A = this chain, B = another copy of it.
C-alpha cells in the first residue's frame, strides 16, 4: 500500500520507555501511518547508549546504533526521546541545522533551551513538534496554538504531574501521611527512587513554562516560574481542606495579570499546592491522571484530561507529531512552532492576587482574635471566614487554639508580609500553613 508514497527517513534517538514504544508502533502500524501522513515513514535507525540494554519492547537489532551523530545525517524527521540537556541539545541542533523537522518530548530541554532551538529552526525553516512535552498524552499544544488562535487565554490551571497527583489523591482518599503514600507510590512505580523532580515541583515547573509560552505568545524562562513542592502537605492540612470543601492539588498556574491602574499586562507562572473547590472539574482528576483547565475569554472554561505520562501513552503524542511533520514535508505549511510576538513581561509571585486559607496556632485567651484580625486588616488582607477548629482553655496558662482563616482576594506580597507579622506578633504560636485557593 505504501509503494506510491514518498519515503521519509525517520531517526529515533533513545529507546527507553517511550522510545521503544514509538519504535514498535512505527514498525507495526507503518501502513496505516503512511496512509494518514501521505508518506512512508521509514525508521532508519535507533540511537542507544548500550546495544545490549534490556528494552520495554523487542526492537530489530539491525536498527540499533550507538552513533547518534551519523544517524541524524540525512534524516527527514528526528525524534528525540533521550531526555536530559546534553547530548540531546547538540543532536537536535545538528538535526535542525541539517534541515530536519524534529519531534521531542524533552520538557527539561525545551524549558531551558527552547528559544535557542526555536531560533535555530526558524533560521532554516525547520519545525519543532513537542506535544508530548507539555502534558504527556493529553493533546494540548494544538488546541492552544490552533483551536484557540482566535481567542485570548486568561488562565491555565494544570495538574501536570502524575506522581504528585497520585500522592495527594491517596492522602485525600485514605487520610494517610505523605511519607507513607510516597513509599507506596515508589513501590508501585508511580514515583522514582529519587522523587525530587516530581515532589518538589521541578517537572511541573518545566511544563508550566512550556504551556505559558504557548498560551501567552511569550518566551517564559524556567527561572521565572515560582515553584513550591508538596513535601509540606500533611494529613491534617488535607483534612482541614476537606472540611472547608476543598481538595489540595499541585497546580501549574499560568495567568495573565492586568494592572488595575495602567491596564498593562504581565504573566505569572507558578507551581504550588493549592486549595481547589471540590465542585471544580479539576477536583475530579484522580490517581496519576493529569488535566489542563483553560479559561479563555471567548471559549469560556475548557478542560483537557488524560494520562500525563506512561511509555505507550506518551508515544501516542509523539507519533501524532511525527505524522504532522511528515504531512508538512509533503504538503508544506507551518508546524506547531512557537510564537513570542506578544512578548509580555513576567510578574513576580508577589503581584498575584488570590484567596488564601491561613491556619494558625494561637494562644487561647481573650483578645487574641482581635489582635490577629487587626494585623490582617493593617496588612490589607480582608477576612472572609474564621473558624476556631481546636482548643478551648482548661488551663489559661498554656492553652492553644487553632484558627483557620479564609481571606478575600489579596495581593500575595501583602499576604506574605502579613503572615510574617502574624508569626512575630507574640499571640501566634505557629503559622501552621498558608495555602492559596485557585479556580475561583
Contact = CB atoms under 8 A, between A and B. Distances in A.
Interface of A: 21, 25, 29, 32-33, 35-37, 131, 137-139, 141-143, 146-152, 217, 281, 284, 296-307, 310, 312-313, 315-324, 327-328, 331-334, 339, 341
A142 B333 CA distance: 15
B334 A331 contact: yes
Given A147-B139, A331-B332, A307 B303 contact: no
Contacts of A316: 148, 150-151, 296-300
A138 B302 contact: yes
Contacts of A131: 147
B298 A315 contact: yes
Contact of A151 (B296, B300, B320): B320
A190 to B, nearest CB: 15
Contacts of A37: 149
A300 B296 contact: no
A347 to B, nearest CB: 20
A292 to B, nearest CB: 10
Nearest to A324: B146
Nearest to A319: B150
Contacts of A281: 284, 305
Contacts of A152: 29, 32
Given A299-B313, A327-B334, 10 more contacts: A142-B143, A142-B147, A146-B324, A149-B323, A150-B321, A281-B284, A299-B306, A301-B307, A304-B304, A305-B305
14 contacts: A29-B152, A36-B341, A137-B300, A139-B148, A142-B142, A149-B320, A150-B319, A150-B322, A151-B320, A296-B316, A298-B313, A298-B315, A301-B307, A303-B305
Nearest to A328: B333
A92 B333 CA distance: 24
A243 to B, nearest CB: 22
Nearest to A323: B149
Contact of A147 (B36, B298, B312, B317): B317
Contact of A303 (B29, B306, B323): B306
Nearest to A315: B298
Nearest to A284: B284
A287 to B, nearest CB: 11
A298 B25 contact: yes
Given A306-B303, A327-B334, A298 B319 contact: yes
Given A36-B339, A303-B303, A298 B327 contact: no
A341 B300 CA distance: 35
Contact of A35 (B32, B138, B310, B341): B341
Nearest to A291: B303
Nearest to A137: B299
A138 B151 CA distance: 13
Residue of A148, A150, A296, A328 with highest tally of chain B CB at under 10 A: A150
A306 B302 contact: yes
Contacts of A318: 150
A282 to B, nearest CB: 10
Contact of A25 (B146, B150, B284, B317): B150
Contacts of A302: 137-139, 304-307
A36 B149 contact: yes
Contact of A319 (B35, B139, B149, B315): B149
In the complex, which of the residues A25, A138, A143, A328 has the most CB atoms of chain B within 10 Å of its own CB atom? A143
Contacts of A25: 150, 298
Which of A25, A32, A303 has the most chain B CB atoms closer than 10 A to its own CB? Answer: A303
Nearest to A332: B332
Nearest to A303: B305
Best-buried of A29, A281, A297, A327 by chain B (most CB within 10 Å)? A281
Contacts of A331: 332-334
A241 B311 CA distance: 37
